[in-house]
Amino acid sequence: MNDDRYDQDATSGDMPPAPLIEDSTPPAKAHADIFFAAVKTTRMPMIVTDPAREDNPIIFCNAAFERMSGYQQAEIVGRNCRFLQGPETDKAVIDQVRQAVARREELAVDILNYRKNGSTFWNALFVSPVFGKNGDLLYYFGSQLDISRRKEAEEALHQAQKMEAVGKLTGGIAHDFNNLLQVILGYVDMLESRIDEDNRIARRAVDAIGTAANRGAQLTQQLLAFARKQELRDRLLNLNTLISDFEAVVERNIGDGVRLRREFSDDLWNCRIDPVQAEMALLNILSNARDAMDGDGEVVIATQNVVGNEDGMPSDLSSGEYVRLTVTDNGPGIDEAVADKLFDPFFSTKEVGKGTGLGLSMVYGFMRQSGGLVTAETMPDGGARFALYFPRARGIIEPTREAQDHTVGGGEHILMVEDQPQVAEMGQALLEDLGYSVVHVASASRALDLLRDRSDFKLLFTDIVMPGGMSGVALAQMVREEYPKLPILLTTGYSDRALDEDSRAFELVRKPYRRADLAQKIRQLIDGPTGVS
């Protein structure tokens, strides 16, 4: 190679001199000195390769490239750029680079590269051939830029958009499915009270229908939780108390082969969450831990107070005070290949028929809707750890109200508002079977007309999502203003954020509700706090 192409004064050690495109006349040398100084000191990583040498080795790199890659100059010069590639580098992108070099063309690609310490980074690579005056190929110039942060932000945005799209779809499906399940379960409850105990075939059939419908109801709850369309009934509570009260269910769920250990913080802060959804989230995580350990191992449930902006906290956790609930198992840990898909809906590593792929996505949706965060990681010594971060809440925990024993109606008049004909027919039959007199209307406006004409209604029972421009929540607000003494019970199989806050002022029973739950709710509202109808 012609030595006239190098600036001998600009090199150090064994490093080849900087490339010059023109002959070494004084003006050209001055330009080369300026160019070399700029390339050497710039913060953008840069390299030069020599295609005239075997395997197109690197003959120059600046300090920024050393910092980015973690290698020293002596480890870089003389090697082909492929030493930055690794197992996860996209082969198709490598082929693009190879073909551009072969065709002597410019190329701009994003490629996953590896540092000396084994960590990965996204590299925005621009490769350009450098030609001499006579058209001969002299060098390849490569500028690089670590765009890992940008890639992470793009991936986070893509994930959020994907979750939002799937959430809208699943939320709509769950709404319609809950209405169908409400009809099935409502009539199952009515049939159970009418089937003779000796009719085993009929009773077994009804039990099977009820079990299958309950399973479907659980799946819709998971869909709604993932979609963040589940109306949360949160209250102030302490996670230590919640888990302790729930421990019998937990132990039954994880099986005899799993040892359960608790590590609770004595001064744990309170948080405001929906206890039912929190219990479901905990059960889903414990079920995954049990399956990962094949039903034999140890699970540690721990609680702790943490601050969001402290070292070691997740980077996407907002600053503030949190209660952290962790579930750690001693199984094989989380496979890196599936770590990014762990909370995706319908993603499951279990065999067909052993998992729906909705359990962890339900946890994800519930935590986001609760203002918190869920993370998953493989521990250094093996095993997986799931961490749930709940925002701290201040206040005094109220005692739980005791349920009323009396659940049968005495002929009281109930105004039911439901726009779905099948659900309305079932609901009216169920309420009448409980001993109430029911008047059904299909719209909020018709309900208001009836209330203004009659004063003998003891309860308003209305769906939230209805056509006609007025929701069940808006109806309830108007009724409370005009008839403040009339009890109101809302029901829904779906709600959105616009209605959630306003609906919190009223009692609610979720679809698909069961006969016993509905009966108890209605009696509590009609009887009032004194228990007198």
Q: Can you give the CATH number for the domain in which 132 is found? A: 3.30.450.20
3-state secondary structure string, 186-253? HHHHHHHCCCCCCCHHHHHHHHHHHHHHHHHHHHHHHHHHHHCCCCCCCEEECHHHHHHHCHHHHHHH
CA distances to 85, 213, 230, 506, 510 from 225, rounded to whole Å, are 41, 18, 5, 21, 13
pLDDT at position 354 is 47
Domain membership of residue 408 (yes or no) is no
Same-domain status, 395 and 252 = yes
The pLDDT of residue 167: 61
d(CA 38, CA 505): 67
Domain that holds residue 431: 413-527
User: What is the pTM (predicted TM-score) of this model?
Assistant: 0.47
Q: Contact, 492 vs 463, CB < 8 A?
A: yes
Per-residue pLDDT of the chain (533 residues; tens, 9 = 90+): 443 433 333 333 344 444 444 444 445 555 556 767 777 778 889 999 999 999 999 999 999 999 999 999 999 999 999 999 998 899 999 999 999 999 999 999 999 999 998 888 999 999 999 998 888 899 999 999 998 888 877 776 776 666 666 666 666 667 677 788 888 888 888 888 788 878 888 888 888 888 888 777 766 766 665 554 555 556 788 999 888 887 877 887 788 888 999 999 999 999 988 887 788 888 888 888 888 888 889 999 999 999 877 777 887 788 889 999 999 999 888 877 666 667 765 555 555 444 445 567 778 877 887 888 888 888 888 889 999 999 998 766 655 544 444 567 788 999 999 988 999 999 999 999 899 999 999 999 999 999 998 889 999 999 988 777 788 889 999 999 999 999 999 988 765 544 556 677 888 888 888 888 899 899 989 987 644 33
- Number of domains making up the chain: 3
Q: For residue 253, which of 228, 231, 285 has the smallest C-alpha distance?
A: 285
**Using CA atoms, how far apart are residues 338 and 341, in angstroms rounded to an integer?**
5
Indicate whether 332 and 445 sit together in one domain.
Answer: no
Position 232 scores a pLDDT of 56
Residue 95 amino acid letter = D
pLDDT score recorded for residue 252: 76
Determine, yes or no, domain membership for 227: no
d(CA 464, CA 482) in angstroms, rounded, equals: 19
Domain C-terminal end among 371, 400, 429: 400
Rg (CA), the chain: 33
CA nearest to 511, candidates 478, 442, 463, 473: 463
What is the b/e burial string over 305-334, where b = at least 16 CB atoms within 10 angstroms of the residue's CB?
ebebeeeebeeebeeeebbbbbbbbbbebb
Together in a domain, 341 and 383: yes
Q: How many CA atoms lie within 13 A of 391 on its CB side?
A: 18
Same domain, 381 and 468: no
The pair of three-digit structure tokens given for residue 431, joined into one six-digit string: 């309420």
152 falls within a domain? no
The count of C-alpha atoms lying within 13 angstroms of the C-alpha of 516, restricted to the half-sphere facing its C-beta, is 4
Asked if the structure places residue 174 within a domain, the reply is no
**Which of 101, 117, 146 represents a domain boundary (last residue)?**
146
Residues 19 and 129 in one domain: yes
Looking up tokens 């769920």 gives 253
Statement to judge: residues 50 and 85 lie in one domain: yes
> Does residue 114 sit in the same domain as residue 60?
yes
For residue 179, is it within any domain? no
CATH number of the CATH domain containing 331:
3.30.565.10
Single residue among 119, 146, 173 that ends a domain in this structure: 146
State residue 467's pLDDT score.
75
Those residues with Cβ within 8 angstroms of residue 29's Cβ, 6 or more apart along the chain or in another chain: 7, 20
Residue 406 lies in a domain: no
The span from the CA of 296 to the CA of 307, in Å, is 34
Same domain, 338 and 476: no
Residues 243 and 390 grouped into a single domain: yes
CA 114 to chain centre: 29
**Kind plus residue range of the DSSP H or E element containing 123:** strand 120-131
Evaluate whether residue 261 is within a structural domain: yes
The reply to whether 210 falls in a domain is no
Asked if residue 441 and residue 319 are part of one domain, the reply reads: no
355 and 495 co-located in one domain: no
For the chain, the distance separating the N- and C-terminal CA atoms, rounded to the nearest angstrom, is 103
Domain of residue 419, CATH code: 3.40.50.2300
User: Is residue 78 domain-shared with residue 114, that is, in the same domain?
Assistant: yes
